[in-house]
């Protein structure tokens, strides 16, 4: 009886992880994120582990100094930080924030989820392109929190409702599926 229960639990876990259904491996092994993008208002169960990893791993770097062009734990710029965090799961992210408008899938603000990449204008709020990126750590109907590399504070968590970021939001991109 104990062996039957153990076998049942094992098969249930494998089935829930998607391994029996032919879903993507973890970490992803494709070279293009276009294969992995999905726009849903509810994150698939198989992604929860990836999201938790991204959030927990990224938060370990809070306080790390900002370094222009930085892509390592000694110092990050915004795109270097996003690349480094997602790179731990095998994702190849753009090295420049300006390329994120072509990466993943745009989602409306109301559908933002943890793990999504949030894109802003840079210091010049009148510019039309993306100049800054971060990773959403929490999203609810009242607020979106994101972690990013700030020139003044290094790796930090901010909220979208702050005037500086609210006025610079360009879009939100879904990378995980």
Own/partner pairs, 134-141, CB within 8 angstroms, 24+ separation? 134/78, 134/81, 134/82, 134/158, 135/54, 135/55, 135/58, 135/82, 135/85, 136/112, 136/172, 137/55, 137/58, 137/59, 138/114, 139/112, 139/113, 139/114, 141/110
Domain boundaries, the chain: 33-174
Residue 78 is a catalytic residue: yes
Residue 3 is a catalytic residue: no
Task: Supply the pTM of this predicted model.
Answer: 0.74
Report the run of H or E that residue 70 belongs to, with start and end: none
- CA 155 to chain CA centroid, Å, is 15
How far apart CA 58 and CA 17 sit, in angstroms, is 23
Catalytic pick among 3, 83, 119, 148? 148
pLDDT tens, position by position, 4-44: 434 333 333 334 333 333 333 333 333 333 333 333 344 45
**pLDDT-based confidence at 108, cuts 50/70/90?**
very high
Catalytic pick among 3, 83, 119, 132? 132
Least confident of 17-21, 71-75, 171-175: 17-21
What integer pLDDT is reported at residue 67 of this predicted model?
A: 97
Residue 132 is a catalytic residue: yes
Mean pLDDT of 156-177: 94
How far apart CA 61 and CA 74 sit, in angstroms, is 10
How far apart CA 79 and CA 164 sit, in angstroms, is 19
Q: Which CATH superfamily is domain 33-174 in?
A: endopeptidase domain like (from Nostoc punctiforme) (3.90.1720.10)
């Amino acid at each position: 009886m104990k062996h039957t229960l153990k076998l049942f639990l094992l098969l249930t876990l494998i089935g829930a992880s998607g391994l029996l259904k032919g879903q993507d491996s973890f970490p992803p092994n494709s070279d293009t994120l276009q294969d992995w993008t999905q726009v849903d208002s509810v994150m698939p169960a198989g992604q929860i582990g990836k999201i938790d990893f991204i959030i927990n791993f990224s938060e370990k770097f809070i306080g790390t100094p900002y370094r222009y062009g930085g892509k390592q734990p000694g110092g990050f710029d915004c795109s270097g930080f996003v690349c480094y965090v997602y790179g731990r799961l095998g994702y190849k992210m753009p090295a420049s924030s300006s390329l994120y408008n072509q990466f993943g899938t745009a989602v409306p603000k109301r559908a933002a989820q943890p793990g999504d990449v949030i894109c802003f204008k840079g210091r010049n709020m009148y510019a039309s392109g993306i100049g800054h990126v971060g990773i959403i750590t929490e999203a609810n109907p009242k607020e979106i929190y994101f972690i990013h590399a700030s020139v003044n504070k290094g790796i930090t968590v901010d909220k979208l409702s702050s005037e500086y970021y609210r006025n610079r939001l360009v879009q939100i991109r879904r990378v995980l599926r």
